[in-house]
Structure 1
Amino acid sequence: MLVSEHRRGPVRSEAARVAILEATARLFQTRGYDQLTMEGIAAEAHVGKQTIYRWWPSKGALVADCLLEGLLFREGFSPADTGDLRADLIAWLRGILAFVDREGGVSMVHSLIAAAGDHPSVGLRLSEGLGANQLLRARFESAVAAGQLSPDRPLDELGDAFVGAVVLRALSRTPTDAGTAVRLVDAVLGA
């Protein structure tokens, strides 16, 4: 859980924490990110708004915890390993880009980036919990072992290139089309 380094007040009860996270997930699913408010979450969880802010510094930090707890987007962000690296990366990118293109997806990505920038603990938890780079590295290592990728390729940097492309597209609101994932994979791995 993301907890402010300088928390004041009573110790958080586990029941309140779970109620807040579950309320956030329910409201996110029915209203979307843009319509998600701390007031609405507090009412849904039957807690005061100050209780939420005591432990989560922003809506982005709270949504980040929901993601990390597996309450949102249970389909996950892990690339498949079918034995075809290029096809797996294209499918993975299409899924991630579709996630970003969902209603409120871009706003959510912006908010998560802002929360991570404002609160280093949020960024660290997102990086460790979602682990896109670690998941991609594992897929790349499998491709190296299968002879699909040269062992001298910088695996961490390949992951950075893919994650960076997704983040840049979200920040710039660059539209995607059916060929976007193919072009990105070809640009990073080579056609």
Structure 2
Amino acid sequence: MQVSEHRRGPVRSEAARVAILEATARLFETRGYDQLTMEGIAAEAHVGKQTIYRWWPSKSAVVADCMVEGLLLREYMSPPDTGDLRADLTVWIGGILNFLDGGGASLVRSLVAAAIDRPSIGERLGEALGINHLLNARLESAVDVGQFSPTRPTQPFSRALVGAIVLLALAGEPAEPETAAQLVDAVLG
């Protein structure tokens, strides 16, 4: 009996995968996460729904890959560096909170749920997006100019800020205008 080395089922097309990711990004930008559907993605990408499900188990998994590929929300991944750490973090967190209040909280909740169901999604998001890494790098640059104490470890501070943002998204409550400054004050002192 001869064993075949070929996998069964249709061949996965890289062109179809890219079309799905690009269609997801376009629809996300125009409709938002809550109005995004697998049917809509399939129609926009000119593929069957089953083609999407070959790669991704849910729309949150597709969106997570869009984020990993840099097709979505890159402006929220890294704080600016104008030389004023407190102002930079306040502006950055304020932008994220505005995104959450504008419907982005459901995306964060969905990504958290997807990461719980499939830890590989969380690992890929964490590694590829590197929010903690980018924020940690910003804090380290603040150490270089005397805006953050060199005796304080930066990693716990970046985790505290990202964790607070995720908790706000999970709570689903709109942020008050002063919330960003309060978070920065709580972490920086």
Q: How does 1:23-34 map to 2 (within 5 A)?
A: 23-34=23-34
Which protein is bigger by CA-based radius of gyration?
2
CA contact (8 A) 1:8 1:54 kept: no
- TM-fit CA distance, 1:23: 1.2
Shift of 1:154: 2.1
Residue 158 of structure 1: aligned partner: 157
The aligned counterpart of 1:38 is 38
Specify the alignment match of 1:82 in structure 2. 82
Deviation at 1:74, TM superposition (A): 4.2
2: CA distance between counterparts of 1:8 and 1:93? 47
Kindly tell me: are residues 74 and 144 of structure 1, through their superposed partners in 2, closer, same or farther at Cα, counting changes over 3 Å?
A: closer
Asked if the contact 1:77–1:96 (Cα under 8 Å) also holds between the matched residues in 2, the reply is: no
> Superposition pairs for residues 55-94 of structure 1, below 5 Å?
55-94=55-94
Q: Counterpart of 2:66 in structure 1: which amino acid?
A: C
Tell me which residue corresponds to 2:9.
Answer: 9
- Matched AA of 2:179: T
- Aligned mates of 1:163, 1:74 — CA distance in 2: 15
Tell me what 1:130 maps to.
129
Q: Does 1:99 align with 2:99?
A: yes
1:9-63 C-alpha deviation (Å, 9 max, x unpaired): 3342111011111111121122211111111111221111111111011111100
Does the 8 A contact of 2:22 with 2:71 survive in 1?
yes
AA aligned to 1:99 is: F
Q: Which residue of 2 aligns with 1:22?
A: 22
Contact 2:100-2:169 at 8 Å conserved across structures: yes
Q: Sequence identity of aligned pairs in percent?
A: 71
| Contact persistence 2:105–2:170 (CA under 8 A) | yes
Look up the SS of the partner of 1:102 in the other structure. Answer: helix
How far apart are the structure 2 equivalents of 1:8 and 1:57?
19
Match of 1:3 in 2: none
TM-score, normalised with respect to structure 2: 0.91
Query: Contact conserved, 1:97 with 1:176, CA < 8 A, in 2?
Result: yes
Instruction: Report if aligned partners of 1:78, 1:132 keep a CA contact under 8 Å in 2.
Output: yes
Please identify, of 8-17 and 123-132, the stretch whose mean Cα deviation from structure 2 is larger: 8-17
Structure 2 segments unaligned to the other structure (5+ residues): 1-6
Q: Structure 1: state its 5+ residue gaps.
A: 1-6
